Structure 1
Amino acid sequence: MTADNDTSNESRKSLVFHGFGNTGEQVAGVFRSALNAAAALPESPIEIVIQGKAVAALAVGGGLAEPADNVLQAGIAVLACENSMRSAALERENLLPRVGTVPSAVVHLAERQWANWAYVRL
């Protein structure tokens, strides 16, 4: 039995990934999932919001420069939670190039869901 998938562009929605955790390995997993989603849903806007201690992996020297660049080149937005950044003593200027921020991951994710974005927590 197969799922009946409507792949018309009209049915495409936006997708937001919520990466929450303590390590860069968790962020790398979110990046892989987002790249897979982008390949399967080429017309869908996709964002990744990173919250928690894992925001440190988005810093220059955090070990994820190449994976982050791959995600960003695929047109996927990568956003760090500013509340989590404060807790991790991470300044905006220390983030990898083209990584954006949101003041609060919780608020941003709620707003996206209210705007009918699909939500995936990893």
Structure 2
Amino acid sequence: VQIFYSRAIEAGFEPNVLPLKILPEHVQDAPRFGRPSKQTDKVKEQIIQQVRRDRYGREKSCADVAGALSLQGVNISRTTVWRVLREAGYRKTKPTRKPGLTQEMRSARLK
């Protein structure tokens, strides 16, 4: 804890000022292990825009979005599209189906 405290003070944290405010500049993320992401923010934004553009049109699968982006020169897999959309808060859904009107219902409406 002392190491974090001393680093925060070096970064500009003021412990004597009330209320205590710990800003993102006061703390730093440790280096992470693992492979870094190849997808840039621009590509992620293109994926989200592709979904938003036809929001009320026909439903699109992740493979459809990946195919449309490949026509624009972005080489991306459907799994990556799914991952980006999931991180952005999108969830898979199925369209709701409503039963059609029966002949009795139609005649009742016309009366």
Report the TM-score, using the length of structure 2 for normalisation: 0.27
With a CA cutoff of 8 Å and minimum separation of 6, indicate the structure with the bigger relative contact order: 1
Report the TM-score, using the length of structure 1 for normalisation: 0.25
More strand by share: 1
